[in-house]
Amino acid sequence: MLNKVVIFGVGLIGGSFARALRQAGAVRHIVGVDRSEAFLARALELGIIDSAAQTGTPVSDPQGQTLASGRRVSVSDPAGQTGTAARPVCRFEDAIKGADLILLAAPVAQTGRILTAILPHLDASTIVTDAGSTKSDVAAAARAVMGERVSQFVPGHPIAGRETNGPDAAIADLYQGKKTVLTPLAENGPTAVERVAAAWKACGAIIHTLTPEDHDKVFAAVSHLPHLLAYALVDDIERKPHSDLLFQYAASGFRDFTRIAGSSPEMWRDISLANQAALLTELDAYLAQLTRLRASLAAGDAAALEATYANAQRARRQWIETIEAAEPPQPKDAAAE
């Protein structure tokens, strides 16, 4: 049982972590920290968090009333009825103090800044983890900010998501049966890694372990490159003079191929740049592959085209069989990973 968990970013990822821990009875008190006043007020209202910490600007309650630090406020209870359940709004340093676990579920580019703000208030017994989609840059930022105390930081990446965002999108079973990849640092002791793993297991996740470097190479290939390719195709079509005609005839194959191009441009800009080296390697391999296929197409080489298509179909079929055997079916809107 974790006594106190602090979550930076009370949107889909952080909010679902909170809901899952609470549903598992694995936590006593959850503090939410967010840049967005509206998100904090909503997360309090939905019962996702027990208290909210300010990050500079004042926090408003759902009725728009400004909350002073430490003031107790009335908000709607989780069932949607307006009640008088008291929800504290605490100071940032009080939020951090005495935490068993801190999860950073804010955009990856903010990692260094958040760790800098946390560090002066961080107890020696607190473990910090994150939920970012890239890990080498997060590990580097943590080392740069925390120095020797980086032993308290265990990088992680839950492989789950939905296309919706914000506290309202948070659900308790988002991580159920999904992988969470931990990329422990050489500095981490076993107790630190175990505390993070136990929290994710309580959320229903299956723990995998990779080095930060291997993690980034793997996700460059199976996630970051497909996102770039999907964005590139939609942008390419949109810029053609007859794009209206083209979109008119785009059908379900196009819709699924480009679904990940519906993801947040800011988030994927940051991921692309954070994983620049590995993504460039994968993109270059793919460009070489396309150049080969172009030559086969131009030469009318039916056998070469069919060999590529057939190998892809076979490999994908085998992959689908493997994941279907290992995991429950994923919800239709499962998306960002």
> Is 171 or 283 the residue whose CB approaches its own copies more closely?
283
Rounded to a whole number of angstroms, the minimum distance from the CB of residue 234 to its own copies is 4
Identity of the residue, 113 or 317, whose beta carbon is nearer to its own copies in the bound complex:
317
Q: Which is nearer to its own copies, 190 or 241 (CB)?
A: 241
Burial of residue 226 (number of CB atoms within 10 Å: 0-12, 13-18, 19+): middle
Type of residue numbered 202: A
Closer CB to its own copies, 144 or 273, in the complex: 273
Locate the DSSP E strands across the chain.
2-8, 27-33, 51-53, 59-60, 66-67, 72-76, 82-90, 101-104, 127-130, 153-154, 156-158, 179-182, 206-209
Q: Are 2 and 21 in contact (CB under 8 A)?
A: yes
State in angstroms the smallest separation of the CB of 265 from its own copies: 4
Q: Nearest approach, Cβ of 323 to its own copies (angstroms)?
A: 8
Please report how close the Cβ of residue 15 comes to its own copies at its closest, in angstroms.
Answer: 19
In 180-264, alpha helices (H): 190-202, 212-219, 225-238, 243-249, 252-257
Q: How far is the CB of 157 from its own copies (least distance, A)?
A: 10
With H, G, I as helix, E, B as strand and everything else as coil, classify residue 55.
coil
Q: Which residues pair with 208 in a beta bridge?
A: 181
Angle in degrees, 0-180, between the axes of helices 265-274 and 136-146, rounded to the nearest 10: 80
With respect to its own copies, which residue has the nearer C-beta, 115 or 279? Answer: 279
